C-alpha cells in the first residue's frame, strides 16, 4: 500500500466539473427492482478522505489505467471494465489548500502506482489546522505524461480543537450488498446522508460482500473488483469526495460469514489476502482500532472485531475474545480517561443485541458470553454520557440490556431489500424494532447551559423513524 506525506496546498472547483464518464445503465428514474447489471459505474479517479483528526487526514486516491478505454465510445464500456484490472504503471499527484486560489497551491511529487497496489495510493496529510475546511485536487497520468481521466476535486473539514464546543453531526451505515442496490446510481442512503451535511460517516463493516451476490469472489483479483465496482457507483463516487469517513471491517469485507484468523480460504482467497485488500482500498491509520476527538463535546471509539478474535466455535471462557487483550485494555483505559462531553462507541457488531438464535459471532451471542458480560458491565459503568451504536444486523433497533440499562442502537442495512433475519420484536429488550434498511445519525450540540446528544434512525430516503436524546450540563 503506497503512502506519502503531504506536500502542498490546493483549491478545488465544484465537484460536478470533475466527474468522469458514467457508464450507461437503466434510466435512474425507472421504477421496480434494480439489477446489478443495470448499475451505472464511473470510470475516473476515485478519492476518499479518512482518518480525519484536528491536525491530520489521509487522502486515498485511485487512478485506473486507461488502456482500452475511450470515454467518447461508451459502447466500449464492458471491455473497458475488464481492462481496469490490469495495465501499465500510472502516476498521481495532489494539491491541497484552504485558499480558493488554485495557483497558490503546490503540487506533491508524482507517485508511481501499478497493478500491485491496484493503482491506489494514500497521502498522509499532516500539520493541518483544526476546524478548517480544505479542498484538494488529484491528477493522474501514464508514464509518457498523458493525462489519465479528468482531474478529481473534493473537500473535507478537520475536527475542531478539543476546547471548542462545536456542533457535530455524523452518520453510521452497515451492510452494503451490491446486488441489493436500490437505484442504478447506488444506494439511496447516500444522497439522504449528504442532505444532512455530516461532518463524517462511519462505515461499520460489510461494506462489500466477498461471499454473496451470485458467485463468490474466490481469487485475489475478483475480491479487488468487489471494492472497485462498489466505489464506482455514482452516488458513492461523489459522496466520498465531499464527506470524510472512517472504515471499520467485518467478516464479509475480508473473507466470508463469521470470518476469523486462520479460517479456511474462500476458494483461493485467504483471510490475509482479504485483509490486505481492505487496507489497499480504504484510508488507513496505524492500527485498526482508534479513537478520535471531535471538539469538546464528542469523542468516538472505533473498534476492531476480526483481526484479534478467537475461533467462533471454540469453547467459551475467560481467554476467549473478540477484541484481544491489547485492544480491550486500550478501550478501557482511553474511554475511562476521556474528558469529552459525550463518549460514543461505534462497534461493528452487536454488544447488547438481541441476535437471532444459532449465531456465534458477536458479544450478544452465547459463544462469547464471558467477554460479552465483561464488556457490557464496563460500558454500563461509564454512566449517562456514554452512547453505543452497532452495525452488522440487517434490521434497525434500539435495545436496552435487561438488568443493566445499557442502550444500543443498530443502524440497519443500506437498503430495504437487504433487510431480514431478525428474531422479531423482543419486549424485554426493544424500545424500537424495524426490519427495514436505512442509517443512523448522531447530532451533538450545545443548547444553553447543556449539551444534547440525539441519535436518529432514518429510512433509506432519510426520513426519521426513531429518535433518542440525552442531555447533560456543560
Query: What was the pLDDT predicted at 410?
Result: 99
Residue 123's DSSP bridge partners are 4, 59
Parse the chain into domains and list their residue ranges: 1-158, 160-474
Query: What was the pLDDT predicted at 71?
Result: 52
User: pLDDT by residue (tens digit) across 73-118?
Assistant: 554 555 455 444 456 799 999 999 998 776 789 999 999 999 999 9
Query: What was the pLDDT predicted at 30?
Result: 38
Query: What was the pLDDT predicted at 359?
Result: 93
Q: CA nearest 415: which of 203, 172, 176? A: 176
Query: What was the pLDDT predicted at 103?
Result: 75
Query: What was the pLDDT predicted at 102?
Result: 67
Cell of 119: 493503482
Half-sphere exposure of 139 (CA within 13 A, CB side): 16
- CATH code, residues 160-474: 3.60.21.70
Question: Are the C-beta atoms of 472 and 459 separated by less than 8 Å?
Answer: no
Query: What was the pLDDT predicted at 26?
Result: 40
Cα angle 45, 187, 2 (rounded to 5 degrees) comes to 30
Query: What was the pLDDT predicted at 100?
Result: 74
CATH 2.60.40.380 for domain 1-158: yes
Separation of first and last alpha carbons in the chain: 43
Question: pLDDT exceeding 70 applies to what percent of the chain?
Answer: 88
Determine phi and psi for 345, rounding to 5 degrees.
-100, 120
Averaged pLDDT, 215-224: 94
Query: What was the pLDDT predicted at 37?
Result: 82
Q: Kindly tell me if the per-residue pLDDT of 246 is higher than 80.
A: yes
**DSSP summary character for residue 234:** H
Averaged pLDDT, 325-338: 99
Lowest mean pLDDT among 142-151, 260-269, 389-398, 450-459: 142-151
Higher pLDDT, 66 or 219: 219
What would the DSSP string read from start to end of 448-460? TTEEEEEEEEE-T
Cell of 229: 465496482
Averaged pLDDT, 467-474: 97
User: pLDDT by residue (tens digit) across 136-154?
Assistant: 999 999 988 999 899 999 9
Query: What was the pLDDT predicted at 65?
Result: 82
Amino acid at each position: 500500500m503506497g503512502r506519502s506525506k503531504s506536500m502542498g496546498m490546493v483549491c478545488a472547483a465544484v465537484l460536478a466539473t470533475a466527474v468522469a464518464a458514467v457508464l450507461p445503465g437503466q434510466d435512474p428514474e425507472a421504477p421496480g427492482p434494480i439489477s446489478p447489471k443495470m448499475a451505472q459505474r464511473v470510470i475516473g479517479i476515485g478519492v476518499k478522505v479518512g482518518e480525519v483528526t484536528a491536525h491530520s487526514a489521509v487522502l486515498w486516491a485511485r487512478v485506473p489505467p486507461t488502456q482500452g478505454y475511450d470515454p467518447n465510445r461508451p459502447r466500449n464500456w464492458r471491455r473497458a471494465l475488464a481492462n481496469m484490472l490490469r495495465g501499465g504503471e500510472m502516476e498521481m499527484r495532489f494539491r491541497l489548500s484552504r485558499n480558493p486560489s488554485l495557483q497558490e497551491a503546490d503540487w506533491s511529487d508524482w507517485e508511481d502506482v501499478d497493478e500491485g497496489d491496484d493503482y491506489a495510493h494514500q497521502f498522509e496529510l499532516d500539520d493541518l489546522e483544526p476546524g478548517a475546511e480544505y479542498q484538494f485536487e488529484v491528477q493522474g497520468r501514464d508514464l509518457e505524461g498523458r493525462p489519465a481521466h479528468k482531474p478529481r476535486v473534493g473537500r473535507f473539514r478537520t475536527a475542531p480543537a478539543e476546547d471548542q464546543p462545536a456542533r457535530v453531526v455524523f452518520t453510521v451505515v452497515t451492510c452494503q450488498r451490491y446486488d441489493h442496490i436500490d437505484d442504478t446510481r447506488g444506494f439511496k442512503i447516500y444522497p439522504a446522508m449528504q442532505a444532512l451535511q455530516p461532518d463524517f460517516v462511519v462505515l461499520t463493516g460489510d461494506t462489500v460482500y466477498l461471499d454473496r451476490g451470485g458467485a463468490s469472489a474466490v481469487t485475489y483479483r475478483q475480491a479487488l473488483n468487489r471494492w472497485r465496482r462498489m466505489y464506482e457507483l455514482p452516488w458513492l463516487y461523489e459522496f466520498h469526495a465531499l464527506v470524510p469517513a472512517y472504515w471499520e471491517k467485518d467478516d464479509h469485507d475480508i473473507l466470508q460469514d463469521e470470518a476469523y484468523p486462520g479460517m479456511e480460504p474462500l476458494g483461493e482467497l485467504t483471510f490475509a489476502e482479504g485483509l490486505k485488500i481492505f487496507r489497499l482500498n480504504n484510508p488507513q491509520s496505524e492500527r485498526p482500532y482508534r479513537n478520535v476527538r471531535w471538539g469538546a463535546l464528542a469523542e468516538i471509539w472505533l473498534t476492531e472485531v476480526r483481526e484479534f478474535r478467537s475461533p467462533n466455535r471454540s469453547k467459551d471462557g475467560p481467554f476467549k475474545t473478540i477484541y484481544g487483550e491489547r485492544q480491550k485494555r486500550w478501550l478501557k483505559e482511553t474511554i475511562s480517561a476521556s474528558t469529552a462531553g459525550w463518549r460514543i462507541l461505534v462497534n461493528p457488531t452487536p454488544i447488547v443485541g438481541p441476535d437471532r438464535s444459532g449465531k456465534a459471532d458477536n458479544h450478544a451471542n452465547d459463544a462469547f458470553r464471558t467477554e460479552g458480560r465483561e464488556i457490557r458491565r464496563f460500558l454500563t459503568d461509564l454512566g449517562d454520557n456514554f452512547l453505543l451504536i452497532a452495525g452488522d444486523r440487517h434490521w434497525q433497533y434500539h435495545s436496552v440490556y435487561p438488568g443493566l440499562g445499557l442502550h444500543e442502537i443498530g443502524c440497519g442495512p443500506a437498503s430495504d431489500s437487504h433487510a431480514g433475519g431478525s428474531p422479531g420484536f423482543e419486549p424485554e429488550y426493544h424500545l424500537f424494532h424495524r426490519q427495514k434498511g436505512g442509517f443512523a445519525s448522531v447530532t451533538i450540540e450545545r443548547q444553553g447551559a447543556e449539551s444534547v446528544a440525539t441519535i436518529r434512525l432514518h429510512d433509506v430516503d432519510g426520513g426519521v423513524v426513531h429518535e433518542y436524546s440525552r442531555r447533560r450540563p456543560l
